[in-house]
């Protein structure tokens, strides 16, 4: 098996192979003084990572390999980015280093990762079900001993029940709980402590003591068995892990789809005119490619022959197919839907818009601020105290009898089995995540709830988040008069409106959609010719006169666009927001004013967030006056609103907020928001968010309810309260039981009961989160 693994890794040493999951890294080795060092940056999927601390292990293991320059590991997505020098090391060497450290690595962008993900999910489900079924049966065997009076059951019958419990505990201990044992062992070998270590210690001590009781009831370790508490505890822990990875699976799939989106090979025209199949990495700007229907476009470029419809949904969120004719631009990552076309490559690989955003996004998510999880922070002092207490108690009891000393030490270890402590956080977070999922709010990583409860600033994108996606016609002005949007029938009958609406059929711009939406579709089309869309400016066309003899020019678009045409003349100024103007050769015909509609629940949601103690910011790529209107509606201070931001600007403002020590959440929906979503402490993809943004956000809010964002924060704060209560309970439980066990006053059956009760108590307390909040609490947050 191991030899086979090595052979598989050795295959990756072929530069052709490693190019499938690596990119040449030029600018990443600024510290490398040796010129011409061939540096590569590889993405791999790491398996076997269960906690945030594992990311550090993986980093350490990889960094130790000579020739590996830089390693960044993302614990949430199980991905590692490795920068290495091809002059000094080969991929098989650092892959092997990961295997030696106890992890499996697979090249990302490889179909193997998908397969492996499925196997891991099945394995996890199997572990969980084994623990579950064995637990149920063990509890049935335990039941008679709890309810019968002493002596009521024949001793050999009790022995039989214990023996049966022991048999069914074996698969739980050696198979299901193996994840904890293995993780604890790994920690131990590397001299680190996480929550897995006290957990493994607790369950193994309990198991050994119980086994000894089955086979040697008169031995040193007493005659008490704890198989029921033991299996229940393992089952609870595995339930938490299973649910957690289900959540991750549900939202991580889209990112995998994206990374595998670009084709590996393309059909390129050789200079002799024949088609040849080449790898994407061999493409150069200027190459001419043939793209068949159903294929993904591999590079940014221009159509040189033919026309087709493409889908850019993944990139821009625009779900309708778009027509692309000769001379039109194509984006890498979009789908060719209908016809075979030929395209000329303009930009490839890292310089495409697709790659630029993907890489900005990936690096921002790798450099996300890392928080230490409460439970892991507690692990070290907890384990230290427990071991110290067990050792001391044994030492104190030693003069009495060695057997008694051992008994007391074991009792201390059993009571302190960190059931409540290790379940406190996951139980509460999973309960909250389940409740959110039913409201259409999906969490990618439940731990983001902990971060969310500390958030002090929420940044909203404007378009599509605070406002509805669509623009609305607010008013129409013509030389004859003006109408507001309420006088819909008057507008619809106006000839200038009809002209404009017919023109807008040729554009997918939001303003055009707003005008077109009012058009009565049953009217015959006007004889428009030579319609051209000038990107970012407007439309121009010629209208044939009814007799068919002459044509006259028309323009519909921005003020600058119309006035750049001398025939248009002057356009009267209207004190309104965004406007589009229509003119023909004889002058100005009409102006259309548009407004963005702020969502109905935007004001109440923002108010509620402020009531929860958060500052609300708006960062938008839109023009200052459009942003100002939204600011006025939401009653935000002017210094909390940023207009005309590029994606880099947004990231810059976000970093500035974070530099002030604030935990920042970002709510956005678009392609442009992705870098800033990835850089925020917590990110929300809202509403009709593009799939890419959804793939990277910590929280995906489905539906159009902005209130759900406020609900999520409120629930995160409640969750944190419950986590603290649970931890307090765990501390209290230990504070009471440890001294009792220490002095030998805790009978073994009570220790077992306490252990089971403490697990149940934290789980039930967490379940409160699935209930709706009390009415007065809701009223308080809304006030």
Partner 1 sequence: MDILYLLIPLSVVLVLLVLLALYWAINQGQFEALEAEGERILRSD
129-137, 216-224, 521-529, 591-599 -> range binding partner 1 (CB under 8 A): 129-137
Contacts of 234 (CB under 8 A, 6+ apart): 131, 135, 172, 173, 176, 177, 180, 203
**Nearest approach, Cβ of residue 176 and partner 1 (Å):** 11
Minimum separation from the CB atom of position 141 to partner 1 (A): 8
- Closest contact distance (angstroms) between CB of 570 and partner 1 is 59
623-628: long-range pairs with CB below 8 Å, 24+: 623/578, 625/577, 626/462, 626/577, 626/578, 626/596, 627/462
CB 722 within 8 A of CB 693: no
State which residue, 123 or 646, has the beta carbon closest to partner 1. Answer: 123
**Inter-residue contact 258 to 691 (CB < 8 Å):** yes
The residue whose two tokens read 């390693």 is 71
Retrieve residue 589's tokens. 């015909």
DSSP of 717-754, one letter per residue? HHHHHHHHHHHHHHHHHHHHHHHHHHTT-S-HHHHHHH
Q: Which two tokens stand for residue 271?
A: 């200079």
Fill in the per-residue mask, 340 to 379: x = in contact with partner 1 (CB under 8 A), - = not in contact: ----------------------------------------
Residue from 53, 130, 627, 762 that binds partner 1 (CB under 8 A)?
A: 130
Q: Which is nearer to partner 1, 97 or 172 (CB)?
A: 172
How far apart are CB 310 and partner 1 at their closest, in Å?
27
Closest CB to partner 1 among residues 121, 313:
121
Site string for partner 1, 133-162 (x = CB under 8 A): xx--x--xx------------x--x--xx-
Size of the site for partner 1 (CB under 8 A): 20
DSSP 254-283: HHHHHHT-S-SEEEEE-TTS-EEEEEGGG-
Provide the mask over 375-414, with x wherever binding to partner 1 is found by CB under 8 A and - wherever it is not. ----------------------------------------
| 138 or 355: CB nearest partner 1 | 138
Q: How far is the CB of 161 from partner 1 (least distance, A)?
A: 7
Q: How many residues does the chain have?
A: 783
Q: Which stretch binds partner 1 (CB under 8 A): 117-125, 230-238, 384-392, 514-522?
A: 117-125
Distance of alpha carbon 783 from alpha carbon 777, whole angstroms? 10
CB of 168 to partner 1, least distance (A): 6
* Strand duo 615-619 + 457-460: pairing: parallel
What's the closest the beta carbon of residue 165 comes to partner 1, in angstroms? 9
A 10 A CB-CB count for 628 gives: 15
What is the spatial distance between Cα 132 and Cα 175, in angstroms, rounded to a whole number?
12
Backbone angles phi, psi at 731, to 5 degrees: -65, -45
Q: Which residues pair with 344 in a beta bridge?
A: 288, 302
Buried (b) or exposed (e) across 121-147, using 16+ Cβ within 10 A? eeebeebbebbbebbebbbebbeebee
Let me know how many helices (H) and strands (E) the chain has, helices first: 27, 28
Give least dist CB 167 to partner 1, A. Answer: 5
Distance separating alpha carbons of residues 363 and 679, to the nearest angstrom:
9
For partner 1, give the closer residue by CB, 125 or 757. Answer: 125
CB atoms within 10 A of CB 297: 26
Place of tokens 């072929």: 14
Question: Would you say 249 or 585 has its CB closer to partner 1?
Answer: 249
How many angstroms separate the CA atoms of 311 and 301, rounded? 15
Give ∠ CA 425-426-429 in degrees, rounded to 5: 85
- Please, which residue, 125 or 485, has the CB nearer to partner 1? 125
Q: Which residue has the tokens 């119980």?
A: 210
Task: Select 161 or 706, whichever has its Cβ closest to partner 1.
Answer: 161
125 touches partner 1 by CB under 8 A = yes
Among 19, 20, 76, 164, binds partner 1 (CB under 8 A): 164
Q: How far is the CB of 125 from partner 1 (least distance, A)?
A: 6
Which segment (123-131, 466-474, 703-711, 753-761) binds partner 1 by CB under 8 A?
123-131
Q: Which of 299, 292, 284 is nearest to 333 (CA)?
A: 299
Nearest approach, Cβ of residue 429 and partner 1 (Å): 23
User: Residue 249 CB, nearest distance to partner 1 (Å)?
Assistant: 10
CB of 155 to partner 1, least distance (A): 13
Q: CA 126, CA 236: separation in Å to the nearest integer? A: 14
Of 128 and 686, CB closest to partner 1:
128
Q: Counting contacts by CB under 8 A, is residue 126 touching partner 1?
A: yes
If one asks whether residue 227 binds partner 1 (CB under 8 A), the answer comes out as no
Least separation in angstroms between residue 360's CB and partner 1 is: 33
**Burial class of residue 726 (count of CB atoms within 10 Å of its CB; 0-12, 13-18, 19+):** buried
- Give the shortest CB-126-to-partner 1 separation in angstroms: 5
User: Nearer Cβ to partner 1, position 164 or 396?
Assistant: 164
DSSP-derived letter for residue 173 is I
Q: What is the largest CA-CA distance in the chain?
A: 119
Nearer to partner 1, 81 or 244 (CB): 244
Dihedral (C-alpha) 176, 178, 180, 186: value to the nearest 10 degrees? -160
Question: Quick one: 61 or 130, whose CB is closer to partner 1?
Answer: 130
- Closer Cβ to partner 1, 29 or 131, answer by number: 131
**Considering the complex, what minimum distance in angstroms separates the CB of residue 142 from partner 1?**
13
Q: And the tokens for 760? A: 């149940």
Three-class DSSP category at 182: helix
Give the binding range for partner 1 (CB under 8 A) out of 131-139, 453-461, 487-495, 529-537.
131-139
Choice between 128 and 373, CB closer to partner 1: 128
Q: Which of residues 726-765 bind partner 1 (CB under 8 A)?
A: none
Measured distance CA(246)–CA(423) in Å, rounded: 18
CB of 124 to partner 1, least distance (A): 10
Cα–chain center distance at 29: 29
Figure out which of the listed residues 23, 93, 145, 167 binds partner 1, where binding follows CB under 8 A.
167
Which one, 131 or 503, has the nearer CB to partner 1?
131
Selected from 122, 305, 470, 655, the binder of partner 1 by CB under 8 A is: 122
Contacts with partner 1 by CB under 8 A lie at 118, 121-122, 125-126, 129-130, 133-134, 137, 140-141, 154, 157, 160-161, 164, 167-168, 171
């Amino acid at each position: 098996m191991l030899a086979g693994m090595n052979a598989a890794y050795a295959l990756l040493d072929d530069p052709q192979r490693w190019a499938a999951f690596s990119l040449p890294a030029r600018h990443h080795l600024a510290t490398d003084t040796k010129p011409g060092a061939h540096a590569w940056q590889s993405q791999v999927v790491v398996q076997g990572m269960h906690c945030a601390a594992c990311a550090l292990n993986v980093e350490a293991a990889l960094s130790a390999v000579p020739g590996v320059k830089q390693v960044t590991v993302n614990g949430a997505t199980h991905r590692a980015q490795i920068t290495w020098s091809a002059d000094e090391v080969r991929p098989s060497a650092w892959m092997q280093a990961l295997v030696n450290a106890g992890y499996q690595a697979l090249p990302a962008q490889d179909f193997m990762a998908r397969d492996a993900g499925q196997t891991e999910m099945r394995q996890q489900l199997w572990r969980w079900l084994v623990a579950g079924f064995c637990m149920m049966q063990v509890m049935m065997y335990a039941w008679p001993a709890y309810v019968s009076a002493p002596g009521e059951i024949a001793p050999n019958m009790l022995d039989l029940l214990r023996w049966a419990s022991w048999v069914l505990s074996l698969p739980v201990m050696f198979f299901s709980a193996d994840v904890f044992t293995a993780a604890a062992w790994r920690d131990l070998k590397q001299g680190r402590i996480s929550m897995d270590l006290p957990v493994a210690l607790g369950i193994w001590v309990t198991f050994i003591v119980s086994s000894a009781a089955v086979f040697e009831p008169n031995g040193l370790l007493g005659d008490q068995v704890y198989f029921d508490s033991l299996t229940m505890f393992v089952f609870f822990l595995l339930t938490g892990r299973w649910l957690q990875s289900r959540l991750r699976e549900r939202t991580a799939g889209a990112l995998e789809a994206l990374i595998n989106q670009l084709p590996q090979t393309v059909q390129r025209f050789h200079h002799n005119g024949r088609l040849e199949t080449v790898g994407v990495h061999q493409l150069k700007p200027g190459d001419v490619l043939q793209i068949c229907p159903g294929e993904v476009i591999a590079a940014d470029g221009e159509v040189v022959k033919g026309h087709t419809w493409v889908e850019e949904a993944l990139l821009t969120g625009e779900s309708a197919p778009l027509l692309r004719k000769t001379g039109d631009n194509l984006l890498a990552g979009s789908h060719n839907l209908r016809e075979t076309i030929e395209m000329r490559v303009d930009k490839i690989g890292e310089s495409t818009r697709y790659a630029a955003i993907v890489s900005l996004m990936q690096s921002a998510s790798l450099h996300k601020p890392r928080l230490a999880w409460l439970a892991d922070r507690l692990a070290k002092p907890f384990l230290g105290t427990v071991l110290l207490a067990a050792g001391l108690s044994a030492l104190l009891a030693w003069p009495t009898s060695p057997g008694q000393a051992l008994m007391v030490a074991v009792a201390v270890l059993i009571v302190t089995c960190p059931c409540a402590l290790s379940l406190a956080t996951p139980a509460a977070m999973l309960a909250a995540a389940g409740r959110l999922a039913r409201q259409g709010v999906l969490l990618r990583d439940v731990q983001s709830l902990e971060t969310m409860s500390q958030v002090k600033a929420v940044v909203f994108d404007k378009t599509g988040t605070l406002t509805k996606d669509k623009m609305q016609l607010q008013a129409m002005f013509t030389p004859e008069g003006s109408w507001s949007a309420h006088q819909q029938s008057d507008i619809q009958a106006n000839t200038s409106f009809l002209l404009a609406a017919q023109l807008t059929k040729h554009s997918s711009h939001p303003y055009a959609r707003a005008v077109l939406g009012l058009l009565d579709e049953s009217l015959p089309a006007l004889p428009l010719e030579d319609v051209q869309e000038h990107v970012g400016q407007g439309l121009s066309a010629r209208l044939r006169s009814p007799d068919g003899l002459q044509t006259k020019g028309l323009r519909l678009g921005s003020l600058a666009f119309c006035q750049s045409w001398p025939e248009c003349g002057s356009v009267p100024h209207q004190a309104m927001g965004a406007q589009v103007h229509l003119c023909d050769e004889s002058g100005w015909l009409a102006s259309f004013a548009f407004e963005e509609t702020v969502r109905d629940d935007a004001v109440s949601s923002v108010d509620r967030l402020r009531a929860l103690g958060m500052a609300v910011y708006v960062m938008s790529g839109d023009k200052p006056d459009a942003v100002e209107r939204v600011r006025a509606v939401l009653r935000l201070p002017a210094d909390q609103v940023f207009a005309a931001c590029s994606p880099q600007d947004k990231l810059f403002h976000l970093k500035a907020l974070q530099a002030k020590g604030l935990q920042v959440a970002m709510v956005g929906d678009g392609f442009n928001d992705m870098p800033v979503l990835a850089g925020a402490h917590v990110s929300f993809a809202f509403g009709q968010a593009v799939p890419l943004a959804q793939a990277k956000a910590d929280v995906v809010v489905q539906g159009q309810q902005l209130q759900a964002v406020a609900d999520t924060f409120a629930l995160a704060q409640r969750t944190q309260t419950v986590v603290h209560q649970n931890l307090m309970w765990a501390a209290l439980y230990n504070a009471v039981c440890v001294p009792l066990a220490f002095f030998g006053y805790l009978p073994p059956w009570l220790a077992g009961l306490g252990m089971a009760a403490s697990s149940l108590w934290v789980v039930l307390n967490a379940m409160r989160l699935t209930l709706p909040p009390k009415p007065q609490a809701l009223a308080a947050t809304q006030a």
